[in-house]
Homo-oligomer: A and B are copies of this chain.
């Protein structure tokens, strides 16, 4: 619990109770979580507080936002030394249509995409949908 505070302070985020709890949950879970997931888990806390906590985490590069095609925004902790740089830090995500979990594939970096002249990229999202190993056969 101690180093959780360090993580937040290193990113200039004050370690409030709510933030520590959300951070802890994100770290213990190996799947991406949605705002509703957190709301259901921390039933005593208000949805808005969790919403703003996540927003703060994304802004301060503690967590990253994931678009998995479900229409529901998911969040996962950034890797160590992540700066959310498009060339180096972004990775593939996988969404299982059976168990409905979305997980990070940090080993699978997103390949470079050559865009036509004039186009400028500042973010890339690559999501694979299908069946995960646990749900397969």
Contacts and interface: CB of A to CB of B under 8 A. Distances in A.
B129 A126 contact: no
Interface residues of A, number: 34
A34 interface: no
A67 B74 CA distance: 14
A136 B118 contact: yes
**Number of copies of this chain that the complex holds:** 2
Nearest to A134: B118
Nearest to A114: B108
Contacts of A130: 115, 119-123
Interface string A7-31: 0000000000000000000000000
B119 A129 contact: no
A124 interface: yes
B71 A69 contact: no
B108 A131 contact: no
A60 interface: no
B113 A123 contact: no
Interface in A64-118: 67, 69, 71, 73, 92, 94, 97, 105, 108, 110-111, 113-118
5 nearest CB pairs, A to B = A118-B133, A123-B129, A121-B130, A120-B131, A122-B130
